[in-house]
Structure 1
Amino acid sequence: MTTSTTDTTPTREARIEADPELPTVRITRSFDAPLPLVYRAWTDPELVAQWLGPRSIDMEIETWDLRTGGEYRYTARRDDEELAHFYGSFHKVVPNERITQTWGFDEMPDAVSLETATFTDLGDGRTEVDILSVVFSMEERAAMLASGMEVGINEGYAKLDEILAEQTGSAR
């Protein structure tokens, strides 16, 4: 398995792995917060808008119906400029355990992935989130990996660390 990691935060980096035989990307990251807090930050649209994506981008959530069969839509903005429009469906939501959803964006309508985020209690107030993304082809996966997504992932997770630290009262 090929692993690509980038440390852009003072805390920790996400592990991003691409299986050379399958059109998949796996992203794994642990957080210093209990599972219910991490899951809430992942599912509460007000919190999601605060941490999702790189620090230079603001997320505006237009639709957020987090339930099995629900949907979402949000827009990435920098200053007053709309950069990208994301959307998808929540296929299965198991609270505090797993979310399976589609993920796509208007700017590349054929590049849709199926993602499953699994939340695991590591004990001692720590939680691991493991996301498996399946795309249509190896070419789409290569484009995904070449997109610079690791910056948005790591900066977003660093923002999430800050939110979780505020909620748990711990200093970083």
Structure 2
Amino acid sequence: MKSTLKVVASGDREIVITRTFNAPRELVWDTLSRPELLKRWLFGPAGWAMTVCEEDRRVGGTFRWAWVGPGGAAMTMTGAYREIVPPERCVRTETFETGCFPQMGEQISTLVLGERGEQTLLTLTVLYPSKEARDGALASGMEHGMAAGYDRLDEILAGAAG
């Protein structure tokens, strides 16, 4: 049985996303950190592909991700890492430079992976610069792309554990 993605508004400017994975925390951290694995699952709904996955995963390092989708749609996200505590926590800035969300400005994303025996609870808290930006993200349908990506991540984790 696949875990369900939960997306909840919190306060005026945050979204809290949770999902459980049937894999140990270190393995989940690895699949969230390595570009060759990110490209296999982090591309949203069917028809999208990750075309750029540049990572300098250290405090002060930056990342740049780009995707293409149906009908010539495209998105690019960049940011900088502020805190990294493997395999538990990562804090970074995120800015959508092109695509559906550039009007949102810079957001701060805090990823926490909690151990639950052989399962891992992912909690992703995204702090937006304004209530309007947060509400725009919620209205965008972003949870559909995230759910599809996390379902693919489940498949990768199952293959690594098996």
Q: Same fold (TM over 0.5)?
A: yes
4+ aligned runs moved over 6 Å, structure 1: none
- Give % identity: 32
Residues 23-80 of structure 1: CA deviation (Å, up to 9, x unaligned): 0000010000011110000001111111112232111234210111111001111369
**Matched residue of 1:26: which SS?**
strand
Gaps of 5+ in 1: 1-9
Q: 2: CA distance between counterparts of 1:62 and 1:38?
A: 18
Map residues 67-78 of structure 1 onto 2, 5 A cutoff. Answer: 67-78=58-69
Greater share of helix: 2
Q: Corresponding residue for 1:88?
A: 79
Cα distance, 1:153 vs. partner? 0.8
Query: C-alpha root-mean-square deviation of aligned residues, in Å?
Result: 1.6
Opposite residue 91 of structure 1, the aligned amino acid is R
- Structure 1 residues 116 and 128: alpha-carbon distance in aligned structure 2, compared to 1, 3 A threshold: same
Q: Corresponding residue for 1:155?
A: 148
Q: Corresponding residue for 2:128?
A: 135
Give the number of aligned pairs. Answer: 158
Alignment of 1:122 with 2:116, yes or no, is yes
Gaps of 5+ in 2: none
Q: Corresponding residue for 1:145?
A: 138
Q: 2: CA distance between counterparts of 1:133 and 1:156?
A: 17
CA contact (8 A) 1:31 1:161 kept: yes
CA contact (8 A) 1:45 1:61 kept: no
CA contact (8 A) 2:27 2:157 kept: yes
- Structure 1 residues 62 and 163: alpha-carbon distance in aligned structure 2, compared to 1, 3 A threshold: closer
Q: 1: CA distance between counterparts of 2:82 and 2:46?
A: 29
